[in-house]
Chains A and B, each alone.
Chain A
């Protein structure tokens, strides 16, 4: 099933506020083999935890199965480093949509903002929605 082209430009509701904690950052860093101590910089790809949450809500909304999604591209632009204590939300919007070879190529942008409303990180993702094989 192709994704509806009228989605382009649509913004989805912000994710539930997420409090960044030392424990979560330590767990995330440990998953990449890094021993993280309080005060160390938060790993650069940590905002994906929020962006992924926003993407899951988006996929649910458009009724796309996660297992049919392959990641095409990801970019992060940081306004400031994330730190434990931050309370963040991600707001996803659909930037582009095209079809290539039966696959949907979905461009999304998620703005990650803090509890003052300031943008902390903008991250864009290209999601490849793989078409089901024709039997």
Chain B
């Protein structure tokens, strides 16, 4: 697709279950128990098992790749402002990624993102630049 400044990119919603977290832990090497053990998550003061921030970011990267047909990512960053709580049930939760093209110049498109789980924003200032 052609990226033009001001373009709104269609929101993408991805499911997140405990199984997703176990699978991501294995694939990434991040075995922090706060991502799979309620006992340990609550012991360190969290409300329960939370998704890896990097799993959420990986889903954002997936959305960007789908929007841009696999464009080369040059810069990508976000703050983890609210945890994605993942209940231990069949449905889990979901993460929805939407974006707006802020600028296209010098061969780079910059996309401002909004990333929510439920009705809460989970990433602060998520932004990506891709080569166009």
Contact = CB atoms under 8 A, between A and B. Distances in A.
A67 B44 contact: yes
A81 interface: yes
B12 to A, nearest CB: 10
Contacts of B72: 41, 78, 81
Contacts of A56: 29
A77 interface: yes
Is the contact region of chain A dominated by helix, strand, or loop, or is it mixed?
mixed
Interface residues of B, number: 42
Interface string B15-35: 000001001101111111110
Given A48-B28, A67-B32, A32 B55 contact: yes
Nearest to A124: B77
Nearest to B25: A31
B62 A32 contact: yes
Interface string A63-80: 000111111111111100
Contact of A72 (B40, B79, B128): B79
B86 interface: no
B83 to A, nearest CB: 8
A19 interface: no
Contacts of B55: 31-32
Contact of A43 (B26, B43, B58): B58
A123 B31 CA distance: 20
Given A45-B58, A73-B80, A53 B29 contact: yes
A4 interface: no
Interface string B24-66: 1011111111100000100111100000111101110110110
B33 A133 contact: no
Interface of B: 14, 20, 23-24, 26-34, 40, 43-46, 52-55, 57-59, 61-62, 64-65, 70, 72-80, 83, 124, 128
